[in-house]
Amino acid sequence: MIQKSLCALLVAAVAASVLPSSSLAAESDVTRATLDNGLRVVIIRNTLAPVVTVEMNFLVGGNETPAGFPGMAHAEEHMAFRGCTGMSADQTAAIYAQLGGDDNADTEQNITQYYATVPAGDVDIALQAQAACLRGADDTDAEWAQERGAIEQEVARDLSNPTYKFINRLNTDMFAGTPYAHDPLGTKESFDATTGKMLQDFYKQWYTPANAILIVVGDVDSAATMAKIKEHFGSIPSHVLPKHPDINLTPVKNESFTLDSNLPYVLGFIAYRLPGTDSPDYAAAQILSDVLASQRADIYGMVPAGKALAAEFGIAETYPKASVGFGLVAQPANADVTAAQDELRKIIANYAANGVPQDLVDAAKRSEIASAEFQRNSIPGLASVWSESLAAEGRTSPDEDIEAIKKVTLADVNRVAKQYLSDQNSISAVLKPRPNGEPVAEKGFGGGEKMTNPPTKPVVLPAWAASGLAELKVPSNYIQVSDTTLPNGIRLIVKTDHTSPTVSVEGSVDHNADLETPTGQEGVSDVLDGLFSYGTTTLDRLAYQKALDDIAASESAGFGFSLSVLKENFSRGVQLLADNELHPALPAEAFAVVKKQTQDFVAGNLQSPGYRTSRALDLGLLPTGDPSLREATPATLGTITLDDVKKYYSAAIRPDLTTIVVIGDVSADEAQQVITKWFGDWKATGSKPNTTLPAVPVNKASSTNVPDQEAVQDSVTLAEELKLNRFDPDYYPLQLGNHVLGGGFYATRLYHDLRQVAGYVYTVDVSLDGSKTRATYSVFYGCNPENVEKARVLIQRDLDQMRTQDVSEAELHQAKALLLRQIPLSESSEDAVAGGLLHRAQMGLPLDEPIRAAKRYYALTADEIKAAFERQIRTGDFVQVVRGPAPH
């Protein structure tokens, strides 16, 4: 399950010159009801794709946990997947697997959420599964004894993350004496003391219809869906709720602390307590954060000035009574961050004392308002937005937030800045890299207890689920696009979608730096990539960013480029995108800064556990001299000149290597006219570079340990090169077999064996990554050091069974159902659609390849899966790389 205690820093806002009217759903598309038992229901009809997201929100979280047991709500969230009334753990896993496997849950400070995205035709099954868990959960000591190992592995994983440790320590100090001080993740010590009876008591207190909000978003008949909800949920009784705890904040104690880190750079933070979602000043605080994060503001200005590798401001840890805003600066791994942190503090203090620019306030407001339109372009994203608004913030609609944003004035923003951005209200912190030893190579895998168990027994589904999931269907061909090639070689793919008045552009230049970089210039592509943010030959950095702000557009350029813009500004947005992509300024003063920043980053990255892990894996998989083993170093970067960068740009950025996908409220003809207008004069010169890596031989077994002194848990990768590529016929039976092994939680072999039964891991992922010439088979898991080899024994046993025994008929049916339903679920957001089209185009696959693949999966037999695994998977030849404490 996902645990949402970590919030990403906000990215710089973009905006438009006129406040657009915006709503996350037309009132006619919203159906509301409160059942007699108190359950609140909101259905939002959205026809973006034939899918639906069902999200059940319980108004209980970390705040309500008993003293000494901060993870009780999180533990109960896990236990809902161990079985509910009339639905065992195995049945729960099998149902969601056959629905497409897109289900999860999370625990926040004041809410717990359970959500699933399923094909629209299966919404009734998803609703009945949610209703079962509102009737009761199997909180037995036996079930908890098995789940405890998995949740403790989740704790170990997060405690290995330096950003999590920072947020956890920050909350402890910022909100001392309140429930906000205790992260809802929980601790190993408290879980060891938790019992099934305690979980039952917690469930009986808080899990009741009157304490829940059900959000349904997607391509549904709202009246029919509401009738089903009343049928499934209406008879569930409610009871009186306990009193939610009071949150009594005390003044922030100003302090500083330093934490060790395994990141490849130093991070300096200055954090402030800001208004929470209950405050009338919350909207002004959001705009203030956006202003401070703007690329036209002084904080980001530290980056082009060469004073920081990165500099940002954002809001995180948002609660009803308070939120946390913080600025950060990144410095090279061995640098002293003090000067940069001091400058960051001065910049923030200056804004607090003297106010922020009206222009940036206007831009931030327009950005927030325009962003509401883009949120409609994802069905699960829209469900999340509505759930957060109603359940976490107590609103009646996300539109309340938009209306509050519209009313924010410059005076409001300056007042909030002056009141909250003070040193007395701040906590400073530094995350400092800690040196680690060199990777230690070991001999190939050996030892471990040999275990032989039969495959998972077939699961008999409840009647209400069995009937709807019994039939396998190949999805209809939903991939209706325009596909043309412009005279200059650009491949243009357009998909019209009228969900919102927005247009998104995703582009990619086929590129391989390992093949295209001249000898001795390793890293030149990274320097070029960093220079695209410095404006164009006609607009300098600030003028270019203002032009984007003026039309509510977000943009990026480079080998991968993108644009998100309101429909009315589509042509102007593409003009700016083309200007940046085709006419980057590449100024000399910026080159000097970016080159130095890249050298500094690379110097730290080469010493980081993350890089050493990926490097050890590459060295184990690839033959000596393979192009993918080239690496940038401070020395190679030091030789690069601006002329080298310009030559590299001219040779590598070409229209005949470029694919552009346009998706949104635009016709194919209109999109082609606009793209042709602004990209049509772009011409290729010289011969086209080779971007396809050569095939490689299979690897030999090896094992490497990468020390990471900050990690509590070992992260383990098992990988091997296969004798195939993406176009090999064995690709499809291997992928189907992978869905027998994983992808469907407890319903699949690896999760069942390693998590549900043994409790060794929190997650285990199996993947087949195929390119035009290569394919890598990988298994990834995290566990305590003493369980590394025990888990590997189980993995190898399950893979050996795939090679030597037919999968059962039930497993084959479930894997097919999982894959066939996943295919239309990939349409649940415009971003996912665009990304899929772009990937297939550049790989050389048919654009309707998912439908062709579905037909192939539908027809595959158990014998074909076994034969493919026998031909391709060599269980004795894995490269094992372990990052973390030394394995036992």
Nearest Cα residue to 574 out of 506, 633, 511: 506
Over range 277-299, report the average pLDDT.
98
User: Residue 17: is its pLDDT beyond 90?
Assistant: no
Tens-place pLDDT, residues 687-700:
999 999 999 999 99
Nearest Cα residue to 420 out of 542, 305, 279, 293: 279
- What's the confidence (pLDDT) of residue 5? 31
Identify whether 687 is part of a domain. no
- Confidence category of residue 756, pLDDT binned at 50, 70, 90: confident
Shared-domain flag, residues 791 and 672: no
Shared-domain flag, residues 604 and 525: yes
Shared-domain flag, residues 814 and 858: yes
Provide the token pair at 79.
Answer: 């236990």
- What's the confidence (pLDDT) of residue 885? 87
Shared-domain flag, residues 607 and 704: no
User: Residue 56: is its pLDDT beyond 60?
Assistant: yes
State the CATH number of the domain containing residue 546: 3.30.830.10
Shared-domain flag, residues 368 and 455: no
Query: Which helix (DSSP H) or strand (DSSP E) does residue 359 occupy?
Result: helix 358-375
- What's the confidence (pLDDT) of residue 547? 98
In total, how many domains does the chain have? 4
Q: Which amino acid is at 345?
A: R
Provide the token pair at 555.
Answer: 């943009």
Tell me which of 679, 707, 735 is where a domain ends. 679
- What's the confidence (pLDDT) of residue 706? 96
Question: How many other CB atoms sit within 10 Å of the CB of residue 32?
Answer: 12
SS (H, E, C) 191-247: HHHCCHHHHHHHHHHHCCHHHEEEEEEECCCHHHHHHHHHHHHCCCCCCCCCCCCCC
pLDDT-wise least confident of 2-6, 267-271, 390-394: 2-6
Shared-domain flag, residues 104 and 215: yes
- Confidence category of residue 441, pLDDT binned at 50, 70, 90: low
Nearest Cα residue to 503 out of 385, 654, 655, 675: 675
Identify whether 249 is part of a domain. no
Tell me which of 631, 647, 679 is where a domain ends. 679
Shared-domain flag, residues 558 and 424: no
3-state secondary structure of 105: strand
- What's the confidence (pLDDT) of residue 3? 35
Question: How many other CB atoms sit within 10 Å of the CB of residue 580?
Answer: 24
For the chain, the 3-state helix, strand and coil shares in percent, each to the nearest 5, are: 45, 20, 35
Long-range contacts of range 647-651, CB-CB < 8 Å, 24 or more positions apart? 648/516, 648/517, 648/518, 648/521, 648/524, 648/525, 648/528, 649/528, 649/584, 649/586, 650/685, 650/686, 651/516, 651/686, 651/689
Provide the pairing of β-strand 51-58 with 212-218.
antiparallel
Q: What percent of the chain has pLDDT over 90?
A: 86
Distance CA 821, CA 807 (A): 20
- Confidence category of residue 129, pLDDT binned at 50, 70, 90: very high
pTM of the model: 0.93
* 435 class by beta-carbon count within 10 Å (0-12 exposed, 13-18 middle, 19+ buried): exposed
Using CA of residue 594, residue 600, residue 604, residue 606, what is the dihedral sign? positive
Tell me which of 233, 266, 293 is where a domain ends. 233
Q: Which residues contact 109 (CB under 8 A, 6 or more apart)?
A: 61, 62, 63, 179, 180, 184, 319
Identify whether 171 is part of a domain. yes
- Confidence category of residue 590, pLDDT binned at 50, 70, 90: very high
Identify whether 690 is part of a domain. no
pLDDT-wise least confident of 277-286, 671-680, 821-830: 821-830
User: Residue 7: is its pLDDT beyond 80?
Assistant: no
- Confidence category of residue 440, pLDDT binned at 50, 70, 90: low
Distance CA 295, CA 534 (A): 11
- Confidence category of residue 10, pLDDT binned at 50, 70, 90: very low
Q: Which residues contact 491 (CB under 8 A, 6 or more apart)?
A: 483, 484, 485, 658, 659, 660, 841
How far CA 227 is from CA of 35, 127, 222, in Å, comes to 11, 11, 9
Identify whether 572 is part of a domain. yes
- What's the confidence (pLDDT) of residue 23? 59
Distance CA 410, CA 312 (A): 21
Distance CA 405, CA 218 (A): 27
Distance CA 191, CA 169 (A): 20
CB 657 within 8 A of CB 511: yes
Over range 535-560, report the average pLDDT.
97
Tens-place pLDDT, residues 201-224:
999 999 999 999 999 999 999 999
- In the DSSP assignment, the letter for residue 63 is G
Q: Which residue has the higher pLDDT, 147 or 28?
A: 147
Identify whether 221 is part of a domain. yes
Shared-domain flag, residues 486 and 445: no
User: Residue 452: is its pLDDT beyond 50?
Assistant: no
- Could you please report the per-residue DSSP string of 108-140? -SS-EEEEEEEEGGGHHHHHHHHHHHHH-B---
Tens-place pLDDT, residues 400-411:
999 999 999 999
Shared-domain flag, residues 465 and 554: no
**Neighbouring-strand partners of residue 668:** none
- What's the confidence (pLDDT) of residue 437? 66
Q: Which residue has the higher pLDDT, 538 or 153?
A: 538
* 482 class by beta-carbon count within 10 Å (0-12 exposed, 13-18 middle, 19+ buried): middle
- Confidence category of residue 459, pLDDT binned at 50, 70, 90: confident
Domain that holds residue 735: 440-471+697-884
Distance CA 115, CA 215 (A): 9
- What's the confidence (pLDDT) of residue 439? 72
- What's the confidence (pLDDT) of residue 888? 58
User: Residue 448: is its pLDDT beyond 50?
Assistant: no
Nearest Cα residue to 153 out of 767, 749, 744, 785: 785
Identify whether 498 is part of a domain. yes
Kindly compute the dihedral angle of the four CA atoms of residues 521, 300, 560, 688, in this order, to the nearest 10 degrees.
-30
- What's the confidence (pLDDT) of residue 127? 98
Distance CA 585, CA 536 (A): 4
Q: Which residue has the higher pLDDT, 150 or 52?
A: 52
Mean pLDDT of the chain: 93
The C-alpha angle 460, 464, 466, rounded to 5 degrees, equals: 40
How far CA 631 is from CA of 178, 524, 620, 649, 703, in Å, comes to 49, 11, 15, 19, 22
Distance CA 128, CA 344 (A): 52
- Confidence category of residue 15, pLDDT binned at 50, 70, 90: very low
Q: How far is Cα of residue 307 from the mean position of the Cα atoms in its chain?
A: 30
Distance CA 179, CA 171 (A): 10
Shared-domain flag, residues 541 and 445: no
Shared-domain flag, residues 262 and 195: no
SS (H, E, C) 376-435: CCEHHHHHHHHHHHHHHCCCCCCHHHHHHHHHCCHHHHHHHHHHHCCHHHEEEEEEEECC
Identify whether 730 is part of a domain. yes
Shared-domain flag, residues 739 and 820: yes
- What's the confidence (pLDDT) of residue 453? 45
